[in-house]
Amino acid sequence: MYVCLCNGVSDKKIRQAVRQFHPQSFQQLRKFVPVGNQCGKCVRAAREIMQNELTQMPEYQEIA
């Protein structure tokens, strides 16, 4: 499904960027995927997808 029609960004692209780069904020996500820089209608959906993907990722544990 297309999330950002202005830039042609799908939810799959956002999920892939989150898995690959692990952004901790929406501003960091925007460095990898061009969302929210035109009309801004996609910002809410893109944030929800990013948060959803981050919560599903396993956390890394430090080995001391």
CA angle 63, 53, 11 (to 5 degrees): 145
Where does the pLDDT of residue 64 fall: very low under 50, low under 70, confident under 90, or very high at 90 and above? low
Residue 57, pLDDT above cutoff 90 = no
| Domains by residue range for the chain, with CATH | 2-55 (1.10.10.1100)
Q: Which residue has the tokens 């997808």?
A: 49
Percent of the chain whose predicted confidence (pLDDT) is above 90: 81
- Residue 54 phi/psi, 5-degree rounding, is -65, -35
Mean pLDDT of the 3-9 span = 95
User: Per-residue pLDDT tens for 13-25?
Assistant: 999 999 999 999 9
Mean pLDDT of the 12-37 span = 94
pTM for the structure as a whole: 0.85
The pLDDT assigned to 17 comes to 96
